[in-house]
Each structure stands twice: as C-alpha cells, then as structure tokens.
Amino acid sequence: METKYIFVTGGVVSSLGKGIISSSLARLLLSRGYSVTIQKFDPYINIDPGTLNPYEHGECYVTVDGHEADLDLGHYERFTNIQTTRANNVTTGRIYQSVIDKERRGDYLGKTVQIIPHITDEIKRNVKSLGNTGKFDFVITEIGGTVGDIESTPFLEAVRQLKWELGKNALSLHLTYVPYLKAAKELKTKPTQHSVKQLQAIGIQPDILVLRTEKDIPLSMRRKVAQFCNVAPEAVIQSIDASTIYKVPTMMHEQHLDDLVLKFTGTESKGEPNHSAWNEFLRKLDSAEKVVTIGLVGKYVELQDAYKSINESLMQAATYCDHKLNLVYIHSEKLDDKNVDEKLSGMDGVVIAPGFGQRGIEGKFVALKWCREHDMPTFGICLGMQCMVIEYARNVLGLVDANSTEMDPHTAHNVIDLMEEQKSISNMGGTMRLGAYECRLKKGSIPAEAYGCELIKERHRHRFEFNEDYRERFEEAGLKCVGENPGTGLVEVVQVPQLTWYVGTQYHPEYQSTVLNPNPLFISFIKAAIANSDNKNQ
Ligand code: GLN
C-alpha cells in the first residue's frame, strides 16, 4: 500500500501528551497488522537534545544508531517495540544546518535561500524520508511545541503543503485541552475552538480532534466542538486522564481512533486488532497487589522526566513479576553517613542513577557503601556503575583518593578514566560513545543468566570508562569484570559475586526495555529485590 502520513499537532498548552497519543495510535495500527514508525520534529535550534540539561528537556534518550534523542522516542519504542533511529528525531537546528551546508556547497545555484521554500522543503524531505524507505504503511509525525509558537511555524507550513500534495494519504490529528473550571463546575471548549481556528488560519484543517481532559466530556459538548471546527462528530475523541499511559491505546480504540484513521486514509481494514499480549500486561498491572520498593539515588529527583526510561523499565519488570512498583526518589545531594540507614533500610533494591559531573556524587558513594555492607540488591547504571567501582576502590582496595578523572582530573588513582578515543575531542555535541555496542558476558554471571546468552547488544552514552590498569586489583578484591566489549575489551559490566545482586553496567539497559519486551536485567534485579523483601518479611 502507499505510505500514509499522519501529522500530530498540539494546541492550547504544551505537555498534553502528543507523544502518548502518537504512540497509542501506532500501537493500534501495529496490532492491526500494519507497519508503522513515529518521528518527532522538535522546533528548537539545538542540533539534538544531547547538549540539553535534563532540567530543560528531561531525559536524553539514545537510539541504536547512536542518536541523542527526545524522550518521546522512548515512548515510541516502549509502545511499539520497534527501534527508532536518527531519522525519527529532527530539530530545527538539523534542518537549518543541512540547508546552510547545501548553500555553502552551491546546491542552490545562486538562488536566495529562504524559509519558504528551502527550509520547508528540507522539512518535507525529512518527513518523507522514512516513508520513502518503503518499509512503512504509516508514518506518524509529531510536531513538537504548540500551534501558535513562532518556532513551529515552518513545520506547520510544511505540514500544510504535504497535506495538499498527499491528499488522502495524509491526515491531521490535533490534540487540545479542555479545562475544567472548578468554581463554575464547567468544562470549557473555547480554548479548543481558538486553537483549531489558529490551525485553520495556517491552512490546516484537522481531520481528528483529541481533547485532553480531566473529566468526561459529554457527547453534546463534543458535537458542539465538531460543529465549530468543521470536524466529523465521530472524529472528536476525548483523552481523559488515565491511571497509566499504557491504557491510552485501549481508550483510543474504544472511541475508534484506529478505525477513523483507516477510513480517512482510505485504508482497507485487516480486521480487529490483536491486543492479547498488551492486555495481558495491563491485566498484570491492575491485578498486582504486592509491592516492591525501589530507591532511585540521583540528583534530578524533583524532575520526574529525568529518569523516564529507568522508571518505565522498573515498572515493566515489576509488573511482569506480579508486583506494583513503589519508586522512592532519594536525593543524592542530601544523603550522608548519618541519614543513609534511615533513607535506605526500607528499600528492597537500590538503583544508582546515571549522570554527569560532581554534584551529588558523594551521596552516591555513601549509598553504595551502605548497600554493599548490607547486601542490598543494587544496580548501578553508567555513572552509577562508575561510582560502584570508585567506592570499591576507596573502601575495599584502600585507595582513599580513587576517583574518575571526570570529577578529579588529577586523582592519583584514576580507576575511571577518559576513553582513549575521547582525548582528542573538544566539541560537546554528539561526540560521546553513543549507541548500541556488543558485550560479551561471563558465563555464570548474573547478567549472563538474566539475558540467557553471552553476547548481547546494549546502548551507551558516556565518555569515561573503567581503567583497565586496575582490573587485576579489583578482580582479586572481589569486584569482577563480567562483561566486556568483544572488539576493544572495554569493561561494560561489573559484579561482586559475593553479594546477592550487586551489578553495574556501563551501558543503559533502560533504553531497550519495552512493554512487550522488558529488559532481562531489570527483571533479574526486580526478582532479587522481591526475594529481599520476602526475606525481610519472614
Ligand atoms: N559521566 C559519565 C561519563 O561520561 C557517565 C555518563 C552517564 O551516566 N550517562 O562517562
């Protein structure tokens, strides 16, 4: 079939969950047997979000091909179970960079380079590049930001042109907000009407409206919206707050979002979707009664999006182990020898978060020492793994000033050091060790048992690494290197086998955990945490 393009825009306010609606629609179309991909256009000038502070934009997600991406790509993968790549996330910066490079090469043959048509053509080329691979029946394109933003104007102009050029093969879905005014006890549709008017003024007539709301929107009100906005009444759908984002596909299906998309794009239906595996996950999520409590030690604890993929991976693993996840954020900056016992003793397992820089690092060492001495199931991820190594060096090997050269460039014991290939790099953007690399696991180690195989591939995002010079001393003292890159020998996984579950990974297993395919190492960790909880309760 010809590729169909679905454009998802948002209005009224940001953070309405365009990513979740796009992912849910993709899930429904996949369950009906179509091939689908989702891409996101971000209207900021950064080339990618890799240089953004998590306070600005939440977690930075990493694709298999080593692209530092918007966290929505994590949702896309968790919902669809299909890997994304660099082509799935494009920013204004990338578009301009490409146009400026072409201009310098002389590609525009003396023409004045302008937003229309040059920038919009470049956007259109990027929108269509995934469709042109011939691999996808549907390409869902999410436009970041809110209609009316100056930044998103060129993207919306490109959508307008594409809708015109693609005819029935293109569809516009607009997500808006219907606020509930407590004092008046009323839902208000005026902001939605205004937002649709704004979209129409740009030349885009939405085909489907999804209204985000906290309260049920009566049918009569949805009809009114339809009438004001030139949209078919059945194509005004509500997205009411759900207990979990993973219920949104079902909610959308109940209102026939997938049927509408097939109908509007003239796509023949292949029959009802098969949701059995997804529904089984939801059933487990709803029926779990026992609780597993995991402490996440990090420095961005006030920011729920900063560790998004870790949260979701833990939740997926807990669900598959028939437990509810109780995730407790522990601020590493506020952790010290005096309060660590009080903060950690109620946990069943502890995760030491990834990160960059000095802030909050000492708290991570305090947590790790306590976890090691109390045989707490402990999972160190990236910087968390590096901290595991440093703490072990300081307190077991007796190298009191051991450190990473990231924190102390002049440390006498650089047990974590800048990677050789990084030493000549001065640019910050896109230059870390990024993307999926192979890792060979040691037979009998926890990770080898968890994955059920010895050669795995996981994603990375770091500049520093375990210093090979200290390997023997660590191994002798009980911290084993149980995973390494088959080509370079870089140490990717450490474990203290004397402890029940004490594992650190240089890679980020959270980037590859999806609802239908949860990451085995998280499952193994959660199982250890549950066993720990059961032991305590006996
Ligand atoms: N800051 C560390 C490094 O660059 C760890 C990075 C991370 O946790 N993602 O190696």
Q: For ligand 1, atom 3, which residue shows the shortest CA distance?
A: 462
Phi, psi at residue 362, to the nearest 5°? -65, -35
Say whether the peptide bond before residue 117 is cis (omega within 30 degrees of 0): yes
Q: Which residues form the pocket of ligand 1, taking CB atoms under 6 Å from any ligand atom?
A: 354-356, 382-383, 406, 461-464
* CA 318 to ligand 1 centroid distance, Å: 26
Is residue 331 annotated as part of the catalytic site, yes or no?
no
Residues 6+ apart with CB under 8 A from 437: 457, 458, 459, 460, 485, 492, 507
Query: For residue 153, which amino acid is it?
Result: T
Is residue 510 annotated as part of the catalytic site, yes or no?
yes
Give whole-number Cα distances, 33 to 20, 138, 268, 294, 514, in Å.
20, 11, 11, 37, 19
Residues 6+ apart with CB under 8 A from 248: 17, 20, 21, 23, 24, 239, 242
Q: Which of 332, 464, 507 maximizes ligand 1 atoms within 8 Å of its Cβ, making it the mutation to test the pocket?
A: 464
Q: Which ligand 1 atom sits nearest the alpha carbon of residue 419?
A: 10
Crossing angle, helix 72-80 and helix 308-320, to 10 degrees?
Answer: 20
Strands (E) across 400-446 are located at: 402-404, 413-418, 433-441
Please state, in angstroms and rounded to a whole number, the distance separating the CA atoms of residues 312 and 116. Answer: 41
Q: DSSP string spanning 155-222?
A: HHHHHHHHHHHHGGGEEEEEEEE--EETTTTEE--HHHHHHHHHHHHHT---SEEEEEESSPPPHHHH
Model confidence pLDDT, tens digit, residues 246-269? 999 999 999 999 999 999 999 998
Model confidence pLDDT, tens digit, residues 74-90? 999 999 999 999 999 99
The number of C-alpha atoms within 13 Å of 279 and in the hemisphere containing its C-beta is 9
Please state, in angstroms and rounded to a whole number, the distance separating the CA atoms of residues 524 and 356. Answer: 26
* CA 465 to ligand 1 centroid distance, Å: 9
Show pLDDT as tens, one digit a residue, over the chain (538 residues): 899 999 999 998 888 899 999 999 999 999 999 999 999 999 999 998 888 888 888 899 999 999 999 999 999 999 999 999 999 999 999 999 999 999 999 999 999 999 999 999 999 999 999 999 999 999 999 999 999 999 999 999 999 999 999 999 999 999 999 999 999 899 999 999 999 999 999 999 999 999 999 999 999 999 999 999 999 999 999 999 999 999 999 999 999 999 999 999 999 988 888 889 999 999 999 999 999 999 999 998 878 789 999 999 999 999 999 999 999 999 999 999 999 999 999 999 999 999 999 899 999 999 999 999 999 999 999 999 999 999 999 999 999 999 999 999 999 999 999 988 888 888 888 888 999 999 999 999 999 999 999 999 999 999 999 999 999 999 999 999 999 999 999 999 999 999 999 999 999 999 999 999 999 999 999 999 999 999 988 8
Catalytic residue among 382, 387, 439, 481: 382
Please state, in angstroms and rounded to a whole number, the distance separating the CA atoms of residues 456 and 437. Answer: 8
Supply the DSSP symbol for 391.
H
Q: Give the distance from CA 353 to its chain's centroid.
A: 15
In three-state secondary structure terms, 152 is coil
Q: Which ligand 1 atom sits nearest the alpha carbon of residue 355?
A: 8
- Which residue has 């939605």 as its token pair? 192
pLDDT at residue 307, rounded to an integer: 94
Give whole-number Cα distances, 358 to 162, 365, 469, 492, in Å.
47, 12, 24, 22
Model confidence pTM above 0.85: yes
Is residue 462 annotated as part of the catalytic site, yes or no?
no
Q: For ligand 1, atom 6, which residue shows the shortest CA distance?
A: 462
Q: Using CA atoms in the order 267, 258, 264, 3, what is the torsion angle rounded to 10 degrees?
A: -50
Please state, in angstroms and rounded to a whole number, the distance separating the CA atoms of residues 253 and 276. Answer: 14
**Residues for the chain: how many in total?**
538
What residues are paired with 331 via a beta bridge? 298
